[in-house]
Amino acid sequence: MTHSLKEISPIAVKICGLTSLSDIKLAASIGARYAGFVFFEKSPRALTFELGRKLALEAPIGLAKVALVVDAEFSYLDELTSRVPIDMIQLHGSESPKLVHEIKMRYGLPVMKAVGISSESDLDKVKSFCEVCDQILFDAKPANSHALPGGNGVQFDWSILSNRSWSKPWMLAGGLNASNVQTALKLTNAKQLDLSSSVELSPGIKDATKMKNFMQALDNCNFGN
């Protein structure tokens, strides 16, 4: 019998880049708490508003629907929020704290701001974002050759986050998989994890075995209980 890991794991998981209802239902059934929908045309995981609306409306109750955008114009966000029923906006571009605040106020939705990390100095900006957003997402800063700001399957030096805390909840992303999740948790003490390319067959097509293996590996972690 399939059980929901969200009932036994203290770690919240987001599966990002979902493009099909079957993958969304699978994510919910194995305990994911967030479903990530990409609205960025350069991404192979990008959704149209039409498909995004269909998936959001049919997603299982209790699964938070997160819309990922990258340096989107207000006109685009206006249409997105009016057509697709989402629970949170994830800003994964170069949005400033001022713009993050404006977006939060304009749409009345929780906002998660992604911060790219390659060195300790990248943490300097986190405090200013914590003042205006609801959550922070730490992801590997992409190399200049990458057109995508995330979903590249690249991890950063997790020890940069060791023994640190912030005023807002935060999520760890970047190259997480079943083999390294325990190490990631030990180094960062993360309470939320974001997965995308590591649980795929191909961009946007999730691998049920990889998803289940990750959640099982997470379930096997010792959380100090």
The confidence score (pLDDT) of residue 150 equals 55
- Sequence spans of domains, the chain: 5-219
Beta bridge partners of 192: 12
For residue 5, is pLDDT > 80?
no
Active site residues: 16, 139
Q: What is the pLDDT of residues 190-204, one digit of tens each?
A: 999 999 999 999 989
pLDDT band at 6 (very low <50, low <70, confident <90, very high): very low
The Cα–Cα gap between 179 and 170 comes to 22
The confidence score (pLDDT) of residue 154 equals 77
pLDDT band at 142 (very low <50, low <70, confident <90, very high): confident
Comparing CA positions, the residue from 217, 218, 221, 205 lying closest to residue 26 is 205
Residues 152-180, mean pLDDT to the nearest whole number: 93
- The mean pLDDT value of the chain amounts to 92
Q: What is the pLDDT of residues 58-79, one digit of tens each?
A: 999 999 999 999 999 999 999 9
The Cα–Cα gap between 71 and 22 comes to 29
| Residue 176 contacts residue 155 (beta carbons within 8 Å) | yes
Q: What is the pLDDT of residues 125-135, one digit of tens each?
A: 999 999 999 99
Residues 103-132, mean pLDDT to the nearest whole number: 97
The confidence score (pLDDT) of residue 221 equals 87
- The residue that leads in pLDDT, 177 or 222, is 177
Residues 14-32, mean pLDDT to the nearest whole number: 97
| Residue 116 contacts residue 151 (beta carbons within 8 Å) | no
CATH architecture for the domain at 5-219: Alpha-Beta Barrel (3.20)
